[in-house]
Amino acid sequence: MDIIITGQQAWDVEIGSNCKNIALEFSKQHRVLYVNSALDRATLFRSSSDPKIVKRQEVIKKKRDGLEKIQENLWVLYPDQITESINWIPSDAIFSFFNKRNNKTFADSIRRSADKLGFRDIIHFNDNDMFRSFYLKDLLQPKLSIYYSRDYMRAVDYWKKHGDLLEPQLIAKSDICVANSTYLADYCRKFNPNSFYVGQGCDLEIFLEGSKTSEPDDMRNVPRPRIGYVGALQSIRLDMDLLQHIAATRPDWNIILVGPEDNAFLASTLHQLPNVKFTGSRDISDLPAYINSFDVCINPQLLNKVTIGNYPRKIDEYLAVGKPVVATRTDAMSVFAEHVYLGKTKEDYISLIAQALSENSEARVAARREFASSHTWENSVAEIYKAIDLSGSGRTH
């Protein structure tokens, strides 16, 4: 297959990206063109001195080629045309008019590069890009169009503004939809019956080796039991009241929070509790050692539209190290039910953490690690291939 990927995250983004991992897995068997979003005028105005924006300007000014070969079968495109910043437009009709014009500009850059590479009978894989890629099925006329849902974007104000209208339409007109959580697969199925849960891949190699790591220096004097969380501390996603309740109810437990804090966390009374420790940001290479130093790992997430459908990759990271995990029960967490203690209330968390502390065993550790190790990008992309096969596009691998 010749696969064109458009999406939310650029190839040169620093953070991890589902779509980049999927592109790398696709490229093991097929030719892939990974398309960064076109530079928009507002971003150019705000960040003109950013090296990444400078690079995009050079492509637009024809000072450098926007098509880069990353490895065998994989190219990245930096589009050579600028698009207008239009999300501020209040009218859906006016927004759609200018959005179609932006899409045409975007499609023109894509088509020229695809032709240069000799791509034919393309498959278009759209990673949650509901605006910039809305018309690409019409403009590129792919053999198959796939919409990939990995976040409930309409819960975020920026996407909700026009996404409430456009995303359901885009899901409906795509040939198939694939999603990384059962919740999002069910959401897509409301608009398109050809919607499939394909699971989530994770880069777990360093976590699977986590049981061999040495204890971090700042953990050595922290008494056990240690109840730990690793990840960004964001008040829109995590339940600070729940953390406060755990710490206050069980002062003999030490709560360890590893990750950068948003303003709400920085100002929270959690900092005043003697059995709550904030480590601040840590490099990803250090995270397995922190997880290994915990007795129980937690994911105390809030239940809201932003979180309810998300696949929590940190759960796989916890399980890969072999640690018992207590997490908030959601539809997306149903796939973990056999290996994770799931609760809904503050009281649930207290009793489940106590249970997890009391019944850990080598057999449970091994089962958790084996389960987590099955969540690979190879397996997730294999499910995408199955969905493509079911669409009637023929064998793909």
Is the confidence at residue 396, as pLDDT, over 60?
no
Q: Say how far residue 371 (Cα) sits from the centre of its chain.
A: 20
Within this chain, do residues 223 and 165 fall inside the same structural domain, yes or no?
A: no
User: What band does 393 get if pLDDT is binned at 50, 70 and 90?
Assistant: low
Indicate whether 57 belongs to any domain: yes
Indicate whether 397 belongs to any domain: no
Q: What is the pLDDT of residues 223-246, one digit of tens each?
A: 999 999 999 999 999 999 999 999
Indicate whether 39 belongs to any domain: yes
Within this chain, do residues 212 and 272 fall inside the same structural domain, yes or no?
A: yes
Over the Cα atoms of the chain, what is R_g?
Answer: 23
Burial profile 234-249: b = 16 or more Cβ within 10 angstroms, e = fewer: bbebbbbebbbbbbee
Contact 180, 375 (CB under 8 A): no
Residues 306-319: what's their mean pLDDT? Answer: 88
Torsion, Cα of 274, 235, 238, 316 (10° steps): -110
Distance, in Å, from the CA atom of 377 to the CA atom of 19, rounded to the nearest integer, reads 10
Within this chain, do residues 225 and 344 fall inside the same structural domain, yes or no?
A: yes
Q: State the pairing for strand pair 176-179/67-71.
A: unpaired
Locate 84 and state its tokens.
């207008």
Indicate whether 240 belongs to any domain: yes
Within this chain, do residues 368 and 239 fall inside the same structural domain, yes or no?
A: yes
Residues 108-117: what's their mean pLDDT? Answer: 97
Residues 117-123: what's their mean pLDDT? Answer: 96
Give the number of C-alpha atoms closer than 13 A to the C-alpha of residue 213, restricted to the C-beta side. Answer: 23
Residue listed under structure tokens 């393309």 = 122
Distance, in Å, from the CA atom of 30 to the CA atom of 205, rounded to the nearest integer, reads 25
Contact 107, 136 (CB under 8 A): yes
Candidates 137, 350, 134, 342; CA nearest to 225 is 350
User: Furthest-apart CA pair in the chain: how many Å?
Assistant: 65
Indicate whether 396 belongs to any domain: no
Q: Which amino acid is at 50?
A: D
**Average pLDDT taken over every residue of the chain:** 94
Locate 36 and state its tokens.
């960064």
User: What band does 253 get if pLDDT is binned at 50, 70 and 90?
Assistant: very high
- Helix, strand, coil fractions of the chain, as percent rounded to 5: 45, 20, 40
Q: Angle 271-274-279 (CA atoms, 0-180°, nearest 5)?
A: 55
Is the confidence at residue 394, as pLDDT, over 60?
no
Which residues have C-beta within 8 Å of that of residue 309, sequence separation ≥ 6? 151, 152, 181, 183, 184, 187, 330, 331, 332
Locate 346 and state its tokens.
């503050």
Residue-number span of the structural domain to which 45 is assigned: 2-201+376-390
Distance, in Å, from the CA atom of 368 to the CA atom of 98, rounded to the nearest integer, reads 50
Residue 395 is predicted with a pLDDT of 46
Type and span of the H or E element at 71: strand 67-71
User: What band does 125 get if pLDDT is binned at 50, 70 and 90?
Assistant: very high
Indicate whether 194 belongs to any domain: yes
- Of the chain, the percentage scoring pLDDT greater than 90 comes to 86
Indicate whether 395 belongs to any domain: no
Within this chain, do residues 218 and 188 fall inside the same structural domain, yes or no?
A: no
Within this chain, do residues 106 and 153 fall inside the same structural domain, yes or no?
A: yes
Within this chain, do residues 39 and 94 fall inside the same structural domain, yes or no?
A: yes
Within this chain, do residues 134 and 185 fall inside the same structural domain, yes or no?
A: yes
Within this chain, do residues 263 and 337 fall inside the same structural domain, yes or no?
A: yes
Within this chain, do residues 28 and 120 fall inside the same structural domain, yes or no?
A: yes
User: What band does 301 get if pLDDT is binned at 50, 70 and 90?
Assistant: very high
Q: What is the pLDDT of residues 57-105, one digit of tens each?
A: 999 999 999 999 999 999 999 999 999 999 999 999 999 999 999 999 9
Number of domains the chain is built from = 2
Within this chain, do residues 172 and 123 fall inside the same structural domain, yes or no?
A: yes
Within this chain, do residues 95 and 224 fall inside the same structural domain, yes or no?
A: no
Is the confidence at residue 29, as pLDDT, over 90?
yes
Distance, in Å, from the CA atom of 110 to the CA atom of 122, rounded to the nearest integer, reads 12
212 backbone dihedrals φ, ψ, rounded to 5°: -95, 0
CATH no. for residue 210? Answer: 3.40.50.2000
345 backbone dihedrals φ, ψ, rounded to 5°: -115, 170
The neighbour count for residue 141, using CB atoms within 10 Å, is 12
Indicate whether 316 belongs to any domain: yes
The neighbour count for residue 63, using CB atoms within 10 Å, is 9
Q: What is the pLDDT of residues 341-370, one digit of tens each?
A: 999 999 999 999 999 999 999 999 999 999
